[in-house]
Amino acid sequence: MDKTNFNMIKITFPDGSVRNYEQGVTGIQIAESISPALARSVVSCSVNGEIVELNRPINTDATIALYKFDDEEGKKTFWHTSAHLLAEALQELYPGIQFGFGPSVENGFFYDVMPAEGQVISENDLPKIEAKMLELAKKDEPVIRKEVSKADALKAFKADGQAYKYEHIDQDLEDGTITTYTQGHFTDLCRGPHLTSTGLIKAVKLTNVAGAFWRGDAKREQMTRIYGISFPKKKLLDEYLLLLEEAKKRDHRKIGKDMELFMFSERVGKGLPIWLPKGTQLRLRLQELLRGLLRPYNYQEVITPGIGSKSLYVTSGHYAHYGKDAFQPIHTPEEDEEYMLKPMNCPHQKNMIITESEKRIFAIKPMNCPGAIEIFKTRTRSYKDLPLRIAEFGTVFRYEKSGELHGLTRVRTFTQDDAHIFVRPDQVRSEFENNIDIILKVFKTFKFDNYEAQISLRDPKDKEKYIGSDEIWDESENAIREACKEKGLQAHEEVGEAAFYGPKLDFMVKDAIGRKWQLGTIQVDYNLPARFELEYTADDNSKKTPVMLHRAPFGSLERFVAVLIEHTAGHFPLWLTPDQVVILPISEKYNDYAHEVEQQLHTVNVRAIIDDRNEKIGRKIRDSELKRIPYMLVVGEKEAAEGLVSMRQQGGGEQATMIIKDFAQRINDEVENQLKDLR
């Protein structure tokens, strides 16, 4: 036997092919063996599922995947190293600066820093920091990984005066888990992975400066957070900046204000949206759309309270798992102040209300599930009663941090188009498939044609985050895999993204300008029915525990509306838009005729409004365009005399003169055509 074979290892690629390499081969060497072009474009690789640097030696048989910047894993590595490059630049520009955490994020990276006394970093400083980053990147500094002991790490970062790094090492890390990465004169505490060199970073844009509390704790110091993004080619940065400009035009906060859909009030509170009349009507039409989709499936709609007894949420697990996102207590004059003080010391009781009369603690509702469970328990259930489908447009509450609030996409109260479906184990797959159909029908209705399905699994390395046995989790995860396979739905798996009570299928939608949003979700839950001791009588007269599915095709109405606004730039389908038609009299003389037109349109269910302001017709047209009203009807002397309207389409489209009846028929035909596939 050739002894050299003992130095060879087998490398398996994603397509199943296998190649032999010498022991100690690296990812970059494997890429070079395939093609020089590939070697120039890869930025990281995974070895047996772990993302590592391209220069990390591989000493045993392994599966490998090579990642370019275009890949999500490649972007994470690229942006992680860019965060370190930002820190290196800050270290040179701001002597004495201290560093917190600097991860990659969905669109770029950030670093939390504490400038030295007398130093302030503002957005005006970003160009000079960018310039320093590019200057350092051109040096093509190698990024060197080193494993260190906890004692040595503490000693090194203490010597550098890095108090935050020292605290992190001291409180969070153990021997055998600590690595550092060095580039140039900058060393950072980090798990990696990283680029092999900073020279791959060719374009940088620092986007904004914000405040962030150390460790996310509002009681700790507020640090300066600097956000940025980077690319391997300047062309990619230029394209990104154009995308940012387009995103600004589509910002749902601005369009929502222009269209008078919703508002926020400081007096009411941050993150608490107020739906205006037009926005409320839009929401109600979305709800009616979903009710129509659910009719063939025999759903029963319910309403549950906005608060519930603490014991309810302790049993469900929400009390423990949502404590950090809870609201502060609400005090009323009837409450016993002394009694209130004691339970408030527990961090998980921030959202508690205690009533004087009952001495009971109540929680503001974080999720709708427990209410549906209590409805199931109202009477004895038989296998013949299942599936039992309970739907609710349920409003829930989470205490999001002020810095994380953003329009309708991140709020402190939101309404889920929720449903909880109780099934026998043999019904799980078919019911799951039904809900896939419902979600895909919603996407088709709103032209969300570009989407990905993600099976969100628990992290087996962090089982304390979840409830339930390994057997139940395996059964739940396999049920989702089988349903996706049956529906021909290509779904990738994401470890650590499951709900605490069960795995789920999430739908990630890309909007018109390529941004990814998580919308619809379906979850399999064997755990909550067992925790609440739910039972049904099986066909053999034995008692069985049902399985519960959670599903929300929109996700939440707030988030869905925000995404829909930005996807369509506010140009909603005609059936959904708040105002289908605006009537524009040329002068006050024709206001009476405008009201006649409005009345005729209302009688045939066309939503019309009148702009009878004393303004020039050009101004009225421009304002109607801003409000995204699909049709404008200009009326003047000729129209009033002959019973006509002069139609203009939004965006400078078709113009025509016609009788009112024909125009109304056109609107109703267009609406009917848009909705025909849903009936």
Asked if 360 contacts 408 with a C-beta cutoff of 8 angstroms, the reply is no
Q: Which residues of 206-238 are buried (b: 16+ CB within 10 A; e: fewer)?
A: bbebeebbbbeeeeeeebbbbbbbbbbeeebbe
Q: Which member of 84, 194, 250, 420 is catalytic?
A: 420
What is the Cα–Cα distance from 136 to 157, expressed in whole angstroms?
A: 22
**Is the backbone peptide bond immediately before 387 cis, with ω within 30 degrees of 0?**
yes
Q: Which member of 194, 504, 544, 559 is catalytic?
A: 504
| 600 phi, psi to nearest 5 deg | -65, -40
Active site residue 119: no
What is the Cα–Cα distance from 358 to 311, expressed in whole angstroms?
A: 14
How many helices and strands, by DSSP H and E, does the chain display?
21, 33
Neighbours of 177 (CB within 10 A): 10
What is the Cα–Cα distance from 339 to 331, expressed in whole angstroms?
A: 12
Asked if 633 contacts 579 with a C-beta cutoff of 8 angstroms, the reply is no
Active site residue 369: yes
Q: Which member of 45, 190, 369, 484 is catalytic?
A: 369
CA-nearest of 55, 31, 56, 53 to 44 is 53
What is the Cα–Cα distance from 212 to 31, expressed in whole angstroms?
A: 40
Asked if 66 contacts 32 with a C-beta cutoff of 8 angstroms, the reply is no
Active site residue 418: yes
| Amino acid letter for position 57 | P
Q: Which member of 398, 607, 627, 648 is catalytic?
A: 398
Active site residue 420: yes
DSSP assignments along 442-459, one per residue = HHHHTT---EEEEEEE--
Q: Which member of 416, 454, 523, 580 is catalytic?
A: 416
CA torsion sign, 156 to 159 to 165 to 170?
positive
**Is the backbone peptide bond immediately before 232 cis, with ω within 30 degrees of 0?**
no
Alpha helices in 144-209 (DSSP H): 150-159, 163-172
Q: Which member of 112, 418, 511, 579 is catalytic?
A: 418
CA-nearest of 378, 366, 421, 390 to 302 is 390
Alpha helices in 262-334 (DSSP H): 277-294, 310-316, 318-321
Beta strands 262-263 and 300-301: pairing type? unpaired
CB contact set of 546 (below 8 Å; sequence gap of 6+) = 376, 381, 386, 422, 423, 424, 529, 534, 535, 536
Asked if 464 contacts 430 with a C-beta cutoff of 8 angstroms, the reply is no
Q: Which member of 132, 145, 310, 550 is catalytic?
A: 550
Residues with a catalytic annotation lie at 369, 398, 416, 418, 420, 504, 550
